[in-house]
């Protein structure tokens, strides 16, 4: 029961909706959209700008710029996770990250030399780290435990929305206004996002003001159980104003690295980052080489390919709450497997776009499962918080997205069939991720359940 006080009587304007599940989820979805929008505004136009500045070996240089962005993620994620969990703060890191994103865009827009572009991409990685650590932790702090998968899935749909809007807008603005056009658009969107973050009220603060966020009304619900051999996601939520006991940062990290379940999720996240990022530096050049597409037409290809992924994350999130993370991850990866192989066929542009769209539909659905699985691990790792697990998630993705562009760029530049090599490389990563999911995801992994079922049948047949 919240006692009345002068502080309680001066409730902030709009308290009820500013701390609500719908506002927090939609706000983080917009954060993710902005992050990917700004990121994808740059990818289609960077090769052409580097050529304009007189650089050669453009594919490799773009790969290193993508590496710089991912290095920023890896470099800044540990301190962000540490500070966010130590002080139980989500909004302040989100605001600081947005200021860094504005500065990064201005620097990259005006950079006359390559090394300044690298620094700008490092700053952009810092901003992205904040969203994927503090932002996802804020969702898990706020939403009802029964629907954490669904809410994470809705937030992850911002990935596809950002990728959908960014490349075509970048191509159109680059063709009309030059290199500065996409960045001015990105800065405007970033400022709108900044205003939205200013209105956020975290759950812990809302409780002090006497508000009862929707998540609190459902905390008494019983924990999910095993139904039909599948695990439903249950994420613990705080029941009172008292802070939760958290292990020191180094102890929490130690628990994560000794958990085979957490390591499997992080390894799958790393491979997810490598699959997508390995294609990025080569895709515009491949489309230009085979079908003679310019920057604006490359953007149109992105539109056609990314539209289906708008629905995959939300659909996967809804399914996760009903059937568990392992089944959804394996189903999504199995769906994407044939299409990435067929991307090696250069029959027609329409065929390529359809295959690319189907591949992305399956691969993008896995991120909802990965984030939900990590949230679920907090209930079995005492003292490990949401910022810890999403810090690990972001580190893994950062390493994957750092290695991916380098591998993809070098393959495309130095192999006769570079694009085919990239696609086959992604195929191997998908298979490896499916194996890890089968063996380690959920409290009772699918492999363990299968072995137990086989043993039970043998015992029944023997008796």
pLDDT tens figures, 269-324:
999 999 988 998 889 889 999 999 887 788 778 777 778 888 898 899 989 988 89
pLDDT for residue 244: 52
Higher local confidence (pLDDT), 435 or 89: 435
pLDDT for residue 218: 39
Residue 230 and residue 324 in contact, taking contact as beta carbons nearer than 8 Å: yes
- Average pLDDT of the residues in 88-116: 92
Q: Could you tell me the CATH number of the domain that includes residue 96?
A: 1.20.1250.20
Least Cα distance to 216 among 460, 443, 2, 382 occurs for 2
The residue whose two tokens read 């994560």 is: 256
- Average pLDDT of the residues in 63-69: 84
**Sequence-distant (≥ 6) Cβ neighbours of residue 289 within 8 angstroms:** none
Least Cα distance to 43 among 240, 299, 215 occurs for 299
The CA-CA-CA angle for residues 313, 267, 305, to 5°, reads 35
- Average pLDDT of the residues in 81-93: 89
Residue 125 and residue 76 in contact, taking contact as beta carbons nearer than 8 Å: yes
Task: Please tell me the distance from the alpha carbon of residue 243 to that of residue 88, in angstroms, as a whole number.
Answer: 8
Task: Work out the pLDDT band at 41, boundaries 50, 70, 90.
Answer: confident
pLDDT for residue 243: 46
User: 8 in a domain, yes or no?
Assistant: no
User: 232 in a domain, yes or no?
Assistant: no
Higher local confidence (pLDDT), 245 or 109: 109
- Give pLDDT tens digits for 133-146: 999 999 998 887 77
- Average pLDDT of the residues in 342-349: 93
**Sequence-distant (≥ 6) Cβ neighbours of residue 218 within 8 angstroms:** 144, 145, 146
The b-or-e profile of 324-336 (16+ CB within 10 A means b, else e) is bbbbbbbbbbebb
Count CB-CB contacts under 10 A for residue 11.
14
208, pLDDT greater than 90 = no
User: 255 in a domain, yes or no?
Assistant: yes
80, pLDDT greater than 50 = yes
3-state secondary structure the chain: CCCCCHHHHCCCCCHHHHCCHHHHHHHHHHHHHHHHHHHHHHCCCHHHHHHHCCCCCHHHHHHHHHHHHHHHHHHHHHHHHHHHHHCCCCHHHHHHHHHHHHHHHHHHHHCCCHHHHHHHHHHHHHHHHHHHHHHHHHHHHHCCHHHHHHHHHHHHHHHHHHHHHHHHHHHHHHHHHCCHHHHHHHHHHHHHHHHHHHCCCCHHHHHHCCCCCHHHHHCCCCCCCCECCECCCCCCCCCCCCCCCCCCHHHHHHHHHCCHHHHHHHHHHHHHHHHHHHHCCCHHHHHHHHHCCCHHHHHHHHHHHHCCHHHHHHHHHHHHHHHCHHHHHHHHHHHHHHHHHHCCCCCCHHHHHHHHHHHHHHHHHHHHHHHHHHHHHCCCCCCCCHHHHHHHHHHHHHHHHHHHHHHHHHHHHHCCCHHHHHHHHHHHHHHHHHHHHHHHCCCCCHHHHHHHHHHHHHHHHHC
217, pLDDT greater than 80 = no
Least Cα distance to 360 among 167, 140, 124 occurs for 167
Task: Please tell me the distance from the alpha carbon of residue 424 to that of residue 283, in angstroms, as a whole number.
Answer: 15
User: 389 in a domain, yes or no?
Assistant: yes
User: 236 in a domain, yes or no?
Assistant: no
Q: Which of 70-74, 187-191, 227-231, 419-423 is predicted with the least confidence, judged by mean pLDDT?
A: 227-231
- Give pLDDT tens digits for 221-273: 334 444 444 444 444 444 344 445 556 667 888 888 899 999 999 999 999 99
Domain limits for position 145: 14-214+248-454
Higher local confidence (pLDDT), 413 or 435: 435
User: 193 in a domain, yes or no?
Assistant: yes
- Give pLDDT tens digits for 296-305: 788 778 777 7
Least Cα distance to 313 among 370, 375, 365, 276 occurs for 365
pTM across the whole model: 0.78
Beta bridge partners of residue 230, listed in sequence order: 227
pLDDT for residue 411: 94
pLDDT for residue 160: 80
pLDDT for residue 209: 80
Task: Please tell me the distance from the alpha carbon of residue 238 to that of residue 203, in angstroms, as a whole number.
Answer: 10
pLDDT for residue 417: 93
User: 7 in a domain, yes or no?
Assistant: no
Count of structural domains within the chain = 1
- Average pLDDT of the residues in 422-446: 97
pLDDT for residue 236: 42
Task: Work out the pLDDT band at 212, boundaries 50, 70, 90.
Answer: low
User: 320 in a domain, yes or no?
Assistant: yes
């Amino acid at each position: 029961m919240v006692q009345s006080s002068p502080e309680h009587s001066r409730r902030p304007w709009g308290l009820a909706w500013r701390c609500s599940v719908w506002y927090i989820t939609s706000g983080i979805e917009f954060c993710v959209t902005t992050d990917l929008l700004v990121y994808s505004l740059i990818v289609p136009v960077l090769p052409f700008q580097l050529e304009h500045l007189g650089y050669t070996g453009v594919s490799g240089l773009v790969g290193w710029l993508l590496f710089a962005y991912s290095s920023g993620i890896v470099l800044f994620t540990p301190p962000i996770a540490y500070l966010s969990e130590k002080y139980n703060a989500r909004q302040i890191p989100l605001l600081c990250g947005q200021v860094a994103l504005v500065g990064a865009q201005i620097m990259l827009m005006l950079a006359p030399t390559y090394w300044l572009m690298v620094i700008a991409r490092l700053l952009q990685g810092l901003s992205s780290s904040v969203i994927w650590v503090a932002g996802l932790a804020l969702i898990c702090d706020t939403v009802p435990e029964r629907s954490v998968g669904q809410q994470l899935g809705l937030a992850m749909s911002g990935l596809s929305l950002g990728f959908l809007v960014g490349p075509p807008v970048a191509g159109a603005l680059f063709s009309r206004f030059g290199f500065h056009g996409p960045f001015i658009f990105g800065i405007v969107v970033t400022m709108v996002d900044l205003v939205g973050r200013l209105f956020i009220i975290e759950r812990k603060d809302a409780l002090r003001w006497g508000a009862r966020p929707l998540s609190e009304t459902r905390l008494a619900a019983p924990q999910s159980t095993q139904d039909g051999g599948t695990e439903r996601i249950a994420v613990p939520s705080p029941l009172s104003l008292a802070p939760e006991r958290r292990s020191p940062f180094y102890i929490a990290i130690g628990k994560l690295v000794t958990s085979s379940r957490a390591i499997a999720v992080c390894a799958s996240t790393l491979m997810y980052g490598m699959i997508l990022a390995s294609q990025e530096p080569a895709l515009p050049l491949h489309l230009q080489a085979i079908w003679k597409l310019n920057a604006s037409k490359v953007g149109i290809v992105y539109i056609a390919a990314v539209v289906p992924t708008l629905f995959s994350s939300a659909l996967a999130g809804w399914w996760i709450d009903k059937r568990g993370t392992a089944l959804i991850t394996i189903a999504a990866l199995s769906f994407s497997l044939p299409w990435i192989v067929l991307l090696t066929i250069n029959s027609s542009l329409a065929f390529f776009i359809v295959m690319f769209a189907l591949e992305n539909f399956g691969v993008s659905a896995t991120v909802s499962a990965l984030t939900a699985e990590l949230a679920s691990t907090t209930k079995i790792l005492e003292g490990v918080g949401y910022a810890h697990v999403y810090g690990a998630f972001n580190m893994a993705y950062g390493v994957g997205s750092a290695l991916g562009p380098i591998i993809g760029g070098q393959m495309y530049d130095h192999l006769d069939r570079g694009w085919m090599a990239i696609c086959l490389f992604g195929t191997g990563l998908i298979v490896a991720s499916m194996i890890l999911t089968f063996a380690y995801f959920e409290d009772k992994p699918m492999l363990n359940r299968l072995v137990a079922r086989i043993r039970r049948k043998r015992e029944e047949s023997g008796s």
